[in-house]
Structures are given as C-alpha cells and as structure tokens.
Amino acid sequence: MDPGLVSVGHWENLQMAIVRLSCVRSTLYAPDAVGTLIDGSYDPVSQTGRLDTFGPGSLATAASERLLLTNYLSKRLAGGAGEGASSQPLVVMVHGFLFDPMHIVTQEPKASNNPHARLFHFTEQSESEAIRHHTSSWPLGLGIRQNDRGGSTGTAIAFGWHSSPGLANSLIERFGNIYSRAYDYAEESALCLAQTLRVLATLPSLKGRPIDLVAHSLGSRVVIRAIAIAAKEPSRRASVSRLGRVILMGGSEYVVEAQLMYRRLMELEQAGVISKDTGPTFYNVGCRENDVLDWLGENFGPRTFGNTNVIGHNGLGLGEAPRWLDLQIDKPELRDWLRAYRKLDISGDQPGTVWDHWYYYTHRGNMEFYRRILRERDAFAIDTLRRTKVRIGSARAVGLPQGIESGRIFGD
C-alpha cells in the first residue's frame, strides 16, 4: 500500500466528531471515514456511496422523502458525533476554489487536493508547514478533537464540493475560464447544501442546536446561495431559523447576491418566520492585502448585471446591517481592538506576500478568532461587539472598528 494513502481501518475510529459529505455538481455522496469518495449505490452497512441528486425541481421535495441523505446523517450523528453537549458548536465547513473530492485521500494533507485530506483532517502540523502548503486543520482550529466520540468538543459537518472543473471542462461546457465554471459549480452545490441544512434541522438528535457555517473564498457562494434558496422556498424556511453564526473568510461571492440573500432574511424576520434572536448572523472577514485574488474574482467570474464587487473586498454595502458584520483583519485598528478585548492575534496576510489568500485560516490567530466566535457566543454576538468600547493603551475607550476600506494595498 502506498504509504501516502490513508488506511480507513486505522483512522475510522478516531474521527467520530466529524461527518463527511462530498458533492460533485448536484450529487451528494457519503465518502468513507477519511473522505475517499465511493461512487456506487449507497450501502447502509458501510454508510458510503451515492446519496441523492438535487436539481431545481427537487427543492420542494420533503426532507422525509430524501431518505438516503436523511438516513445517512441520522445514523452518523446518532453514532457519536451528535450526542455531545448541546452547548457545543455544530459547524458546517465549506472550502473554496480548486478542490476536488474525487482525488485520493492521503495521510499527508499536502499530497492531495481532496478537501477532506487537505483541510478537513486531524493531523497536527506546525504553523509554518500549514502556511506553506495551505493545509491547516479546520476542525482542530475550531476546537473539535478527533477522539471525541461524544461530541463534547463540538461536531463538524465537512462539506467537500467539486470546485476544480479544469480547463477542458470549462471550455467545453461554457466556453469560459476555470473560475467562471467553478462559480457555476458552486451554484449547483448550493442546492445540495440547502438540502443538507434542511435535513440537519429536522434531526431529533440535534434539536435546539444552532447550525453554524464556516466558509472560505468561493465557498461563500455555496453558503450564501444555499441560505438564499432556503429563505425563498416555503418548505425550507423553517431551517433558516436554526442557522446560527456564519463566518465568511475572504468571501468571493458577489455583493449583489449577498444583498439579495440578506433582504430575503429580513423579509422572513418581518413575517415572523425568524426573530431578531434567531436565524443566521454573518461575520464577513475581509482583507485589503488580498486585493490581487479579489481582483481576479471580480474580473473572471460570470459577468451579469451588478456582478462587479465581492464581499471579501467590499463588504455587504448596506450600512450597519443588524445581522451582518464586516471586519477587515489587516486593519491595525481592528487588530489592536481585538487584542485589547480578548487578547486575540489576527493578521491579514503573511508579511510581504500579496498572493496569500489562505492566511485567513492558516494563521492560527485567525482560527482562534473564529473559534471564539463560535464558542463564546455572548461575548462575540454582533450587538455585543458593536456596543463594547475598549481602552487601547492610554487612549480613550473606542468602539469596534467596522467595515472594509476602499482602495488597493498590495501587501504589508
């Protein structure tokens, strides 16, 4: 056996705190314990294989009728990952551009572009190694431990989607570039995520637990579109009230799409479907030092009316929205404020590097910030952050620096 490949037998009993899903276009799969995709009919014994395919016509289908996905999540969560303390986070993790869940899972995270191998793993690494290869463990960074069979440190739902269409497919399918085609794939994957969120909201074992989401880069398109779908479809609106904190790292979803989703949420609030204290709240983490890749997202995505700015570069653009907080992590004032507030060490990029689009999660101080947002819910509620003033040095107490600046700044 190739020493780089992961032995399922060796690892399967170590990852009870994580439930894995793989999405290829509009089809969901239950991969094996380490994330290797099994392309065959679903096997209820091994709990692997093809689950369901979701297209626009399937959105109105009742969750109870999507038996394979419901049964899979119910069994996996009832098997250990969902039985922990209800106060612990239940977080859905969604990666960004250039990952392929059909790649072989390797024991070394850097040797595979399968997101389950590269990001959704439990391998301890030095920070320098994780930065060099973009292989930080999201579960570990968020405080979820691999040996936690009871879910006492939280539960992760690893949502791996096909975001690397390749040049040939991009040209054949749409006569477009790779990024534009991946954006289309994100649209299809959002249908799968919307159904996943709906099923999670119906499971008795998760009753009362908010469903948090963490996404990076193009994964923000998957998350925002999934929530927009759920907010529009009457049969899915109940799941919106179960959503909790949504952390978007370097989001490359377009501002107009985020605004559409946000307005749908506010309509649900006005209609009484969700209250001011229920439903999703968004922590949009941007970085001006990431201008180069934001520029690529703004210029190489699908060109439709209004698609000119992305949220990681420009924020939501609706003023001080009650459910949305824009935070620029390379802004010195915000760095100082969070250090004074909770001794946090955030950073916008690796000094001197203008292409480091992954520092959002490879820098451990940033991951610690996200971990605290999910776990110290009172201290990091949006209203609390906005109301709080802290003293920095001998200066007078100041409020939270919000918003993302305009202009272009390439690196430190």
Rounded to whole angstroms, how far apart are CA atoms 97 and 299?
15
Strands 389-390 and 398-399: antiparallel
Under DSSP, the state recorded for 93 is E
State pLDDT tens for residues 125-181.
Answer: 999 999 999 999 999 999 999 877 667 899 999 999 999 886 445 444 555 678 888
pLDDT on residue 96: 95
Res 177: pLDDT? 76
Do 95 and 219 form a contact (C-beta atoms < 8 A)? yes
CA angle 251/20/208 to nearest 5° reads 80
Other CB atoms within 10 Å distance of the CB of residue 178: 19
Domain boundaries, the chain: 8-399
Q: In angstroms, rounded to a whole number, what is the distance separating the alpha carbons of residues 175 and 167?
A: 10
Closest CA to 412 of 327, 329, 295: 329
What 8-state DSSP symbol labels residue 248? E
Residue 412 confidence (pLDDT) above 50: no
List for the chain the helix, strand, coil content (%; round to 5). Answer: 40, 15, 45
- Tokens linked to 340: 């004074």
Q: DSSP letters along 185-237, please?
A: HHHHHHHHHHHHHHHHHH-GGGTT--EEEEEETTHHHHHHHHHHHHHHSGGGH
Distance from C-alpha of 397 to C-alpha of 330, rounded to nearest angstrom: 21
Model confidence band, residue 327 (pLDDT cutoffs 50, 70, 90) = very high
Give the tens place of pLDDT for each residue, 55-68. 765 554 544 446 89
Query: How do residues 274-293 score in pLDDT, each as one tens digit?
Result: 999 999 999 999 987 766 56
Which residues contact residue 387 at a Cβ distance below 8 angstroms, ignoring those fewer than 6 apart? 399
Q: Determine the straight-line distance between the first and last CA of the chain, rounded to whole angstroms.
A: 45
List strands edge to edge, sheet with 18-24. Answer: 49-53, 27-30, 18-24, 155-161, 90-94, 211-216, 243-249, 281-286, 324-328
- Among residues of the chain, what percentage have pLDDT more than 90? 67
pLDDT at 298 over 70: no
pLDDT digit string, tens, across residues 338-358: 999 999 999 987 665 656 789
pLDDT tens by residue, 393-406: 888 899 999 999 87
Q: What is the pTM of this model?
A: 0.92
β pairing state of 27-30 and 49-53? antiparallel
SS3 (DSSP) at 374: helix
DSSP character for 273?
Answer: S
CA distance 20 to 110: 19
